[in-house]
Amino acid sequence: MNAYIQLFRHGDRAPIELYSTDPNPATAWPEGLAKLTTLGKKQHYALGKYFRSMYANFTTSSPLEVSMISSEVDRCLKSAETNLASFYAPDPKWSFDPQLSWQPISVHYVPKDEDKYLETDSYCPRATEEQKRIVQSPEGQRFLQEHEGMLKNLTFFSGDPIANWTEASYLHDVLKIEEKYNLTVPTWVEPYWDELTNVSNLSFFWSFNSPLLHRLRAGPLLQRIIQKMNEKLEGSIPDMKFQLYSAHDTNVAVVLDALNLFNMIAPPYCASLIFELHEMPNGDRAVRMLYQNSSKPEEKIDPPHVLVLEGCSEFCSLEYFINYTSPLMPGDWNAECQLEMSFVEKIKEKVITIGWFFILTAVIIVTMSIYALWRIYSRRQEKNGISAVKYSAENGPYMKLSCPLENWHRLHSGLNLASKQMIIMLFLCRNRQDLDERPNDLAFRKQYHQYGENSKIHEPYEHDIFLFENGARI
């Protein structure tokens, strides 16, 4: 055997939630509602021990051999940890405490809303719409009409709306668990018990009774299973032998249903679907599937059943297995779910948008600050009699000088220090009175000419400033 892949349901748990008229309080469950019970821990410890014995010739205690991925839900995480405690109990080589028959093995998970592998109710608008379509389909409505009387009475007695197979299954789950733990079970359920049990079992079929739902809810996990088989054969994960998935009854049921292997019975606690990858004597690769569904794994675990795909045998060629499951493989799960973008991508987009907002705000603030400083500088220059450079269509770039003589000398001195690559011509009026009486003669115009071989000005100039009056050079 080259690889072993196991998908199992968590162990025994408390009810997810109580119904409105439930006579039993939530305090009846010391671990809390929806949590793994002590019995559930015992079940998974026994399951891990059983499969450790079953594959004794294939496994060692090396933590490099095993990978565990769990649903984010607490009961699945604890089931995974309890299972590994016995399945990968250390031998002396890997023991860090002789008094403790345990070693830490990592359990990985994906946030619930983003988990397309182990959460059959993760956010997927198209899957939600498809489930609504099934309920409203002629077949779905016919099934509900067959049980309409029971559903109405259960709605009345439970105090909760019981209008479809999913709601009936949740109520059955609570009542079944409370009966198991010798808690109060109301007498009004007795006439409907068998019918309710049947509807609960079939709810797994009706909830995923669509090729599209098989593709969206079972496809990603099957795709990952095949990917890991190929990686093992390619040698990219040479040490890996066991890949384990801790999940829910819905995961086990939808994969079985997608493979046309579901027996229409709800997967019990610790139900395990196993994929073995074998190298055959002729060198071919084959997949062998097993299903373990013992009803009381804490007491006895029966040998798993062999599952056979339609048109294949117990040891089904890997090529046939891949071809058989190819219609179930989503190309782009996000696109097929009609997700515009993932939750993480939405966060990234918001961060980028906020980042650009702050950058643009900073640019605007800096630009306004520079402009304000320039205005302050210009006004100070004007107070000293020197205006900012302006432009007119008639005269081109020019400055106005309306200042006392000492400021003129300061300007003149500054211009002498300027680059000699420019010739600056300035127009100047004779006095302040001319500024008001003859604004067109008021001038202080400058034009720029580059020095060079083709320049019209060849003679050196001691000063760069020329005075003009009424258009004639002084």
Q: Which residues are catalytic?
A: 10, 249
Whole-number Å distance between alpha carbons of 237 and 3: 11
Whole-number Å distance between alpha carbons of 179 and 171: 12
Enter the tokens of residue 213. Answer: 């739902």
Whole-number Å distance between alpha carbons of 64 and 405: 91
Q: Of 313, 293, 212, 297, which is closest to residue 253 (Cα–Cα)?
A: 293
Alpha carbon distances (Å) from 216 to 103, 183, 232, 266, 457? 36, 38, 25, 20, 82
Q: Of 181, 249, 207, which is closest to residue 30 (Cα–Cα)?
A: 181
Whole-number Å distance between alpha carbons of 298 and 39: 8
Q: Of 12, 3, 5, 2, which is closest to residue 249 (Cα–Cα)?
A: 12
Q: Are 438 and 429 in contact (CB under 8 A)?
A: yes
R_g of the chain, CA atoms, integer Å: 41
Whole-number Å distance between alpha carbons of 250 and 120: 7
Enter the tokens of residue 119. Answer: 């959460």
**First and final C-alpha spacing in the chain:** 107
Whole-number Å distance between alpha carbons of 466 and 165: 99
Alpha carbon distances (Å) from 401 to 282, 317, 411, 429, 468? 102, 96, 9, 8, 13
What is the amino acid identity at position 16? I
Whole-number Å distance between alpha carbons of 186 and 85: 39
Q: Which residue has the tokens 């004639």?
A: 472
φ, ψ for residue 58, nearest 5 deg: -110, -25
Spell out the residues 6+ positions from residue 217 whose beta carbon is closer than 8 angstroms to its own. Answer: 120, 127, 208, 254
Q: Which helix (H) or strand (E) holds 196?
A: helix 193-207
Strand 242-247 to strand 66-70: parallel, antiparallel, or no bridges (unpaired)? parallel
